[in-house]
Structure 1
Amino acid sequence: MNIELSTTFIAVDDHDKAIAFYRDVLGLEVRNDVGFENMRWVTVGAPTQPDVAIVLEPPIGDPNASEADKKAAAELLAKGLLRGVIFETDDVDATFERIRAAGGDVLQEPVDQPFGVRDCAFRDPAGNMLRFNQRK
């Protein structure tokens, strides 16, 4: 039996800002952009990984959610507490410089970790933590 990652989800509060970041800054391709009941889902992914997708979704996937639930989800998102993604790169220092030069919100500059990677971290426009690893 073989199990592989297919799709992961990241909550965003502004899809247009998220697309600009994930497509224009990170270089991911937009694969799908779907609207339904005043909501929107955008699928992005690395051109080199056609079978792995990241869905940029609303913080709450229920159009009938209460205002209190929407507010609570927005507060968690703003604090970066909903989700995170770790990307792998072949040059973490160049990746860091490219994202920082594009105005990325730096959480951690590149550093060698004791667990065998050199990594850095940013927040995306919605506040989600994104880490970028380079294997040693």
Structure 2
Amino acid sequence: MLTSISITSLYVLDQDQALDFYVGTLGFEVQTDQHFGPMRFLTVALPSDPGHAVLLELPAPPSVSPEIAGQVRDVVTKGVGGGHLFFTTDDAHKTHAALQEKGVELPEEPVVQPYGIDFGFRDPFGNSVRVAQMTPPPSA
């Protein structure tokens, strides 16, 4: 039976720029950086969650055919490529301020929601990122 998710894939248009953003800005660590023929297999993970890596994948063979790679790059750039990451934090306001200090473009302020406090932004390639400080569930 399935027991966990080990890798989530995001299309990025430049793997070195993605490393700079995810490692240098968001605090991920490189898990794997290997070349397999024409492909660079590049995964990063949060130090607090090393069991769930993010594959920073170019829209190119072998994941997509050369014929549709350009179309995939186009939809990723427009923010409709389907890439989404959802993070939790202990303090949404503090995390928002820290990301703003690092130069992340944050079009949303933290907002109180029924489930907690959250805000969203896009990575340099258009992928959606949401950060939430979850409210503890009510006791039974």
Work out whether the TM-score is over 0.5.
Answer: yes
Contact 1:38/1:63 (<8 A) preserved: no
TM-superposed CA distance for 1:106, in Å, is 1.9
CA 18–113 in structure 1, closer or farther in 2 if over 3 Å, else same? same
Consecutive unaligned residues of structure 1, counting only runs of 5 or more, are: none
| Structure 2 counterpart of 1:12 | 12
1:74 pairs with 2:77: no
TM-superposed CA distance for 1:111, in Å, is 0.5
Letter in 1 for 2:59: P
Report the structure, 1 or 2, having the larger strand content: 1
**Residues 16-69 of structure 1: CA deviation (Å, up to 9, x unaligned):** 1111111111111111112233332211111121211111111244278234x1
Contact 1:25/1:98 (<8 A) preserved: no
In structure 1, C-alpha distance between the alignment counterparts of 2:63 and 2:110, rounded to whole Å: 40
Q: Secondary structure at the match of 1:30?
A: strand
Q: Secondary structure at the match of 2:109?
A: strand
- CA RMSD in angstroms, aligned pairs only: 1.9
| Structure 1 counterpart of 2:121 | 122
CA 63–26 in structure 1, closer or farther in 2 if over 3 Å, else same? closer
In structure 1, C-alpha distance between the alignment counterparts of 2:63 and 2:48, rounded to whole Å: 34
Consecutive unaligned residues of structure 2, counting only runs of 5 or more, are: 136-140
In structure 2, C-alpha distance between the alignment counterparts of 1:66 and 1:2, rounded to whole Å: 32
In structure 2, C-alpha distance between the alignment counterparts of 1:37 and 1:2, rounded to whole Å: 30
**Residues 53-87 of structure 1: CA deviation (Å, up to 9, x unaligned):** 111111244278234x1221011100111211101
In structure 2, C-alpha distance between the alignment counterparts of 1:64 and 1:128, rounded to whole Å: 18
In structure 2, C-alpha distance between the alignment counterparts of 1:109 and 1:60, rounded to whole Å: 35
TM-superposed CA distance for 1:15, in Å, is 0.8
Contact 2:60/2:66 (<8 A) preserved: no
TM-superposed CA distance for 1:122, in Å, is 1.2
Larger Rg: 2
| Structure 1 counterpart of 2:21 | 21
TM-superposed CA distance for 1:14, in Å, is 0.7
Q: Percent identity, please.
A: 36
Letter in 2 for 1:79: K
CA 107–3 in structure 1, closer or farther in 2 if over 3 Å, else same? farther
TM-superposed CA distance for 1:12, in Å, is 0.5
How many pairs were matched up?
134
In structure 2, C-alpha distance between the alignment counterparts of 1:88 and 1:107, rounded to whole Å: 18
